[in-house]
A and B are shown apart, each in its own frame.
Chain A
Amino acid sequence: MSFARLGLWLLRRERASGEWRVLLLALIIGVGSVSTTGFLGDRLKRAMSEQGASFLGADLLVTSPRPIEDWPDLAVTKSAGTASPLARSQALEFPSMLAKGDAFQLATLRAVDAAYPLRGSVRIADRPFATGTARPAQPPPGMIYVAPDLLPLLSAKMGDSVQIGEARFTIAGIVAEEPGQLGGVFGLAPRVFMRADDVAKTRVLQPGSRVTYLYQFAGDPAQLAAFGAALKPRLDSTQRLIGSREGVETLRGAFANADRYIQLTALISLLLSVAAIAIAAHRHALRHYDQAALLRCFGATTAQLRTLYAVQLLTLGLLGSLIGVAIGALMQQALALLVLPDAVTRLPSLGLAPVGAAVFSGLLALAGASLPALMRLVRVPPLRVLRRDLPPLPVAAWLSAAISGSALLLLIAWYAGNARLIGVFVGALVGLIVVLALLARLALAAGRGVQKMSHGPVRFGLAQLLRHRFDSTLQLGAFTLALFLVALLALVRSDLIAGWRQQLPPDAPNYFLINIAPAQQQSVATYLSQHHLKASALYPMVRGRLTTKNDVPIASTLPPDARDANSLRRELNLTWTATLPANNAVLAGHWHGDRRVAEISVESGMAERLHLALGDRLGFRIGDQTLAARITSIRSVKWDSMQPNFFVIFAPGQLDALPASSIASLYVPPDAASVLPSFIKMFPGITVLALDRLIANLEAVFAQIIGAIQLLLGFLLAAGMAVVIATLLASLDARQQEAVLLRTLGAQRAYLAKSLWSEFLALGLLAGLLASACAEIAMALIAQRLFELPLRLHPWLWLALPVAGALLVGLSGWLTTRHITRVPPMQSIRALN
């Protein structure tokens, strides 16, 4: 028989052993965790790339905040050789209000021509959530197609008539699917398709309105490439040219970042499982020294033993990983339903790539955790068969550390992807371990006081906890971590948004009015004062792009990683005012006041990101004009004040001549909400943004994401339980010996049971208390440092976490050790011999 087969044979005979079970369990939990996120991430990535051109709706897309008149005459209009001209389609996208009766809702309108979409399809249905049929997105004149979530918001149904700006439209279809859409995660402004030639009669668009022009092209690849090359130099940084591949890549890039953080969350469970695996593997090796010595006695060489144990480990590794992957495949569906409820059916089916990745992670984790123990096992001297006390030859500590360390580092590197994230993750992990170990030690020291005051089985149980100090620290640390993270997420979910809402003054603005035309300003002000509504000042808004600093292109003045700043990529909302807005404070320089000079005030965060200082001269491009102004003040802005806030404020007199619309914020008390429908009817072109609804939407999105992470933390709790079980198993022999001694001395089973329960309950309670303390501190830091919220304590937490901890640890502890109270002493003595 080969040693590989012998290894499998022995493994089969030992399959019921506690260590193998724990090892397998921990591996299943760890791999289950990483494969859950792996599967879902892979499905989303494939959904993006498989859709290819249909994702963009075209082969080539150009977006611009302004119309582009001047196209390369290369291939668009005339055919090159035998190739037919490029197909093109043009669309406008802008936010606007839809109103029906007293209901109104902000929507994203896309005004399309007959050719849209050039690639992929738009499916239009005649009732919500039906599959619909593929059709051009352009509705018949006077009609619109709307996203299904818009209907309940407007209390509307198919065939109803709704108001957009100054025109009325009939709802002629429901958008079931459109290019580039995976699911309705962000339902802030539902989609509406209308005809491009119907836009004018709404009178919604006016100079200064926020519009995106979408130019789409499709056709022969060579022609497209030539066209793209000719077009590219003509575009500025606010205009983007996206090929179907780049479109997917951009999206995938953004998605990859989010995916990476989620994967790292999952990795924590795997790493905690590694601790459980290492303990189980160590105990397995200890219990197999005699077996290894006997096999050596029978003539096995070290290489043969290595084969035997490696085959066993590999088998367990593959088995555990594959079961973990199967669990991951089930859990990812639950996660998908939680995060993308609308899109699940449209995602591609499970891929094979994550299976390989998860199995590899599992084997790597297993190798890192158990190779040091295995190496000792094959170095058992055969003489041990005669002298049982003979330990295996030592394995150099540095070698064990190097093997485990490099396996763990490789795992982290694989999931983190870049050096910075690896550094941050490893740093955070080491910091966390140190803090948790210290806390656990402190808690145990406090437990000593309690132990002295107690008596009987409780005293004995607590003494166990203190005696196995290393084990207790590990169990306490692992469980505290799991409970802490679960609690922290719950607090973030319940506190932050609620706390932030509570902190707002009761009359804080709850609506924004956007797109107020200069001619409307007076009548809007009159209307609001007639209805006793409190509005902020009206700020004129001009959109422009920051291009130069001290007459040099601004990107060239920045280090490479700062060049991609948002404020350089998009057009900024520029305003002018003589009065420093409320909730703004000048940090440096002097406020320009009503001096009509070329001066600007810049928000401090933007100044920092773009390396701007007082005295710098910034150049802006607004439409086809350029103008420059010197920075004379740097301001702090309270962004959560619900007021219109601006990065850049000009002194009066600089922008007046440019086309501008105004913005204001407004407080509408609940009893006056009925004013709004009439306001919208009176000023149909003005966009009314309900902050309540916006916040509710954000809350819903937030809750979905937190729900998903909490699902992953379920794995973390399970891994924590595996650590508890593994450490208990490791001390099982010693415990059994003590139990035998106690029972021989006359202790009853109830005494032993009570001492075990008091040990585990104390451990769970301590973990719960520590986790409560950590969660309170972390939450206080987050709330105060990041959100400037007042300190709040959570008494329920101090009850819930210890109870949860006591239950979970108590249960896993009792299940692991209960049989030592049941076995008759004689049988135990024989088993130990």
Chain B
Amino acid sequence: MTPPDSAQFPDTVVLARDLSQRVPTAGGMLDILSEVGLAVKAGETLAITGASGSGKSTLLGLLAGLDHPSAGEIFLLGERLDALDEDARARLRAGRIGFVFQSFQLLPALTALENVLLPLELAGRPDARDRAAHWLDRVGLATRATHTPRQLSGGEQQRIAIARAFATDPEIVFADEPTGNLDADTGARIIELLFDLNASAHTTLILVTHDDALAARCQRRLHLVAGRAREEAVA
């Protein structure tokens, strides 16, 4: 399926056409993604699923503008990414895109509050500190504001990462295996939190997971098999 042009669909926030990613390896060129097409509208939730090595994280990185494709086009928030250099893509992300990672990626030297504050400060929000405190409260960790990541459990760290992702009121949140490093119970609570916040903030959520329970919470599901995409109906 080749999705239509973004100009024709102004509410499309992510649009990819014929995306391919090939990398050189010792045994010759390796196709990680082949001719993947995709259109995501504002407010939609999309799960990218597939086995290990199927190219899920590679696709997420390409859609978020963290990497270039070998072939194909990507429109992110109406901007054609291959026309932008690395720094222009970074400026596009600033304050408009949020990220949640499998390994949390909190800065160890900063407190919980400061970690949430960081993207707000980068985006130059005037009420940064209040907003950070507000979002810390939203994820239930107001009492741990002065703790550093080392003093927090994995679940608590991921909640801070989620607060950080939503704090700038982004248009899109990309999440890479957000429950991958957590036990089942904690993972379930994190999923709950992620979708609650997403619903109330009307954010587009694109997440990578191999957790069916998590994928089932999304409106749409894109399944990757050996680099090829197939949109599946959500059960």
List residues of chain A with CB under 8 Å of any chain B CB: 1, 6, 9-10, 13-14, 17, 290-291, 294-303, 381-383, 385-388, 830-831, 833
The reply to whether the CB of B166 lies closer than 8 angstroms to some CB of chain A is no
Chain B residues in 8 Å Cβ range of A290: 105
B57 lies within 8 A of chain A by Cβ: yes
**Contact A382–B101 (Cβ < 8 Å):** no
Smallest beta-carbon distance A826→chain B, Å: 13
Given known contacts A298-B118, A299-B123, A386-B66, what 18 new A-B pairs fall within 8 Å (CB)? A1-B122, A9-B121, A291-B107, A295-B122, A299-B94, A299-B122, A300-B90, A301-B87, A301-B91, A302-B87, A303-B87, A382-B86, A383-B61, A385-B101, A386-B57, A386-B61, A386-B101, A831-B150
Do A1 and B87 touch (CB < 8 A)? no
Say whether A1 contacts B94, CB under 8 Å: no
Query: With A297-B66, A299-B94, A302-B87 known to touch, is A385 a contact of B122 (CB < 8 Å)?
Result: no
B95 CB contact (under 8 Å) in A1, A13, A296, A299: A299
- Interface residue B103 (Cβ < 8 Å from any Cβ of A): yes
Task: Name the distance in Å between B209's Cβ and chain A's nearest Cβ.
Answer: 14
| Contact (Cβ within 8 A) B105 A294 | yes
A284 to B14, CA, bound (A): 37
User: Is A1 in contact with B121, judged by CB distance below 8 angstroms?
Assistant: yes
Q: Are B105 and A382 in contact (CB under 8 A)?
A: no
Question: Is B135 engaged at the interface, CB distance under 8 Å to the other chain?
Answer: no
Which of B57, B90, B124 touches A301 (beta carbons < 8 Å)? Answer: B90
Chain B residues near A387: list those with CB within 8 A.
Answer: 57, 61
Q: A390 CB to closest chain B CB, in angstroms?
A: 10
B122: contacting residue among A13, A300, A830, A833, CB under 8 A: A300
Contacts of B75 in A (CB 8 A): none
Question: Which residues from chain B contact A830 at a C-beta distance below 8 Å?
Answer: 150
A17 proximity list for chain B (CB < 8 A): 109
Using Cβ atoms and an 8 Å threshold, which residues of chain B touch A10? 107, 109-110
A291 contacts across to B, CB distance below 8 A:
107
> What separation, in Å, do the CA atoms of A10 and B110 have in the docked complex?
8
Contacts of B87 in A (CB 8 A): 301-303
* CB<8 Å pairs between A and B, sample of 7: A13-B110, A13-B114, A294-B107, A299-B95, A383-B66, A388-B103, A831-B150
Given contacts A1-B124, A6-B121, A6-B122, contact A385 B105 (CB under 8 A): yes
Contacts A1-B122, A383-B66 known; A298 to B93 CB distance under 8 Å? Answer: yes
**CA of A302 to CA of B107 in the docked complex: distance in angstroms?**
19
Contact A14 B109 (CB under 8 A): yes
Closest to A827 in B: B150
Give Cα distance in the complex from A296 to B121, angstroms.
Answer: 14
Does chain A have a CB within 8 A of B128?
yes
In the bound assembly, the distance between CA atoms of A609 and B64 in angstroms comes to 77
Please name all residues of chain B whose beta carbon is closer than 8 Å to the beta carbon of A296 when the two chains form the complex: 90
B119 contacts partner chain A, Cβ-Cβ < 8 Å: yes
**In the complex, what's the smallest C-beta–C-beta distance from A831 to chain B, in angstroms?**
7
Contact A298:B94 (CB < 8 A) given known A13-B109, A13-B114:
yes
Q: How far in angstroms is the closest Cβ of chain A from B4?
A: 28
B91 touches A297 (CB 8 A): no
Once the chains are docked, how many angstroms separate the CA of A831 from the CA of B148? Answer: 12
Specify which chain B residues have a CB less than 8 angstroms from the CB of A833 in the assembled complex: 103
B73 at interface, CB cutoff 8 A: no
CB distance from A305 to the nearest CB of B (A): 9
Asked whether, in the complex, the Cβ of A299 is within 8 Å of the Cβ of B110, the reply is no
Interface SS of chain A: helix
Asked whether, in the complex, the Cβ of B86 is within 8 Å of the Cβ of A302, the reply is: yes
Interface centre among A291, A299, A385 (most CB of B within 10 A): A299
Query: Which B residues touch A386, using CB under 8 A?
Result: 57, 60-61, 66, 101, 176
Shortest distance between the CB of B112 and any CB in chain A (Å): 13
Bound together, the chains give a CA A388 to CA B94 distance in angstroms of: 21
How far apart sit A518 and B64, CA to CA, in the bound complex (Å)? Answer: 105
Task: Using known A-B contacts A1-B121, A382-B66, A385-B66, determine if residue A297 contacts B128 with beta carbons closer than 8 Å.
Answer: no
Question: What is the CA–CA distance of A297 and B119 in the complex, to the nearest angstrom?
Answer: 10
Residue B18 lies at the interface, judged by CB distance under 8 Å to chain A: no
The complex places the Cα of A388 from the Cα of B103 at a distance, in Å, of 10
Question: A382–B176 contact, CB under 8 A?
Answer: no
**Which B residues are CB-close (under 8 A) to A1?**
121-122, 124, 128
Question: Are A297 and B107 in contact (CB-based, < 8 A)?
Answer: no
Interchain nearest-CB distance for A734 vs B (Å):
18
Q: Is B122 in contact with A298, judged by CB distance below 8 angstroms?
A: yes
Q: Which residue of A lies closest to B114 (CB)?
A: A13
B204 to chain A, nearest CB (A): 17
Contact B93 A297 (CB under 8 A): yes
Query: Which residues of B have CB within 8 Å of A300?
Result: 90, 94, 122
Most buried by A among B86, B109, B110: B109
Q: Which residues of A contact B122 (CB under 8 A)?
A: 1, 6, 295, 298-300
Q: Are A383 and B101 in contact (CB under 8 A)?
A: no
The residues of A that contact B137 with a CB separation of less than 8 Å are none
Complex Cα distance A81/B93, Å? Answer: 86
> Which residues of the partner chain A approach B99 to less than 8 Å between Cβ atoms?
297-298, 385
Known A-B contacts A1-B121, A13-B110; the reply to A299 vs B103 at CB < 8 A is no
Once bound together, how far apart are the Cα atoms of A209 and B61, in whole Å?
A: 95
Would you give the shortest CB distance from A829 to chain B, in whole angstroms? 12
Distance in angstroms from B162 CB to nearest chain A CB is 15
Task: Give the distance in Å from the alpha carbon of A607 to the alpha carbon of B128 in the complex.
Answer: 83
CB pair B93 A299 closer than 8 Å: yes
Chain A nearest CB from B88 CB (Å) reads: 8
Please report the C-alpha to C-alpha distance between residue A290 and residue B123 in the assembled complex, in whole angstroms: 19
Whether B90 pairs with A382 at a CB distance below 8 angstroms is yes
Q: Considering the complex, give the chain B residue whose CB is closest to the CB of A16.
A: B109
CA distance A291 to B110 in the complex (A): 11
- Bitwise interface map of B from 150 to 187 toward A, beta carbon under 8 Å scored 1, else 0: 10000000000000000000000000100000000000
Q: Given the complex of chains A and B, what is the CA–CA distance between A333 and B89 in angstroms?
A: 57
Does A298 contact B119, Cβ atoms closer than 8 Å? yes
Q: Is B67 an interface residue (CB 8 A)?
A: yes
Write out the residue numbers on chain A whose beta carbons fall within 8 Å of the beta carbon of B66: 297, 381-383, 385-386
The closest CB in chain A to the CB of B62 belongs to A383
CA distance A297 to B109 in the complex (A): 18
Option from B60, B67, B114 in Cβ contact (under 8 Å) with A381? B67
Task: Give residues of chain B (103-131) contacting chain A, Cβ–Cβ below 8 Å.
Answer: 103, 105, 107, 109-110, 114, 118-119, 121-124, 128
Residue on A nearest B94 in the bound complex, by CB = A299
Name which of B64, B92, B176 has the most chain A CB atoms within 10 A of its CB: B64
Determine how close the nearest CB of chain A comes to the CB of B12; give it in whole angstroms.
22
* Residue in B103, B118, B150 whose Cβ sees the most chain A Cβ within 10 Å: B118
Provide the bound-state CA to CA distance between A6 and B94, in Å.
15
Contact flags B185-227 to A (C-beta < 8 A → 1, else 0): 0000000000000000000000000000000000000000000
A-B pairs with the 10 shortest C-beta distances?
Answer: A299-B94, A301-B87, A1-B121, A13-B109, A383-B66, A299-B93, A382-B66, A14-B109, A298-B119, A383-B67
